[in-house]
Chain A
Amino acid sequence: NAGVIQTPRHKVTGKGQEATLWCEPISGHSAVFWYRQTIVQGLEFLTYFRNQAPIDDSGMPKERFSAQMPNQSHSTLKIQSTQPQDSAVYLCASSLAGLGPYEQYFGPGTRLTVL
Chain B
Amino acid sequence: GDSVTQTEGLVTLTEGLPVMLNCTYQTIYSNPFLFWYVQHLNESPRLLLKSFTDNKRTEHQGFHATLHKSSSSFHLQKSSAQLSDSALYYCALSETGSNYQLIWGSGTKLIIKP
Contact surface of A with B, Cβ cutoff 8 Å:
31, 33, 42-43, 45, 48, 50, 55-56, 91, 95, 97, 99-109
A-contacting residues, B55-107, CB 8 Å:
90, 94-102, 104, 106-107
Interface SS majority for chain B:
loop
Candidates A31, A99, A103; contact of B35 at CB < 8 Å: A103
Q: How far is the CA of A9 from the CA of B46 in the complex (A)?
A: 18
**Can you list 17 contacts pairing A with B, beta carbon distance less than 8 Å?**
A42-B104, A43-B90, A43-B104, A43-B107, A50-B100, A56-B99, A56-B101, A100-B100, A101-B98, A102-B100, A103-B47, A103-B50, A104-B102, A106-B44, A106-B45, A108-B43, A108-B44
How far is the CB of B19 from the nearest CB of chain A, in Å? 20
Contacts of B94 in A (CB 8 A): 100-101
Interface SS majority for chain A:
strand
Judging by beta carbons under 8 Å apart, are B46 and A42 in contact? no
Q: Which of A31, A42, A101, A103 has the largest number of chain B CB atoms within 10 A?
A: A101
How far is the CB of A72 from the nearest CB of chain B, in Å? 16
How far is the CB of A45 from the nearest CB of chain B, in Å? 7
Known pairs A56-B101, A91-B45 / 4 extra A-B pairs, C-beta < 8 Å: A42-B107, A43-B45, A56-B99, A106-B45
The answer to whether A101 and B33 touch (CB under 8 A), given A42-B106, A43-B90, A48-B101, is yes
Judging by beta carbons under 8 Å apart, are B44 and A109 in contact? yes
Q: What per-residue 1/0 map shows which CB atoms of B12-40 lie under 8 Å from chain A?
A: 00000000000000000000010100000
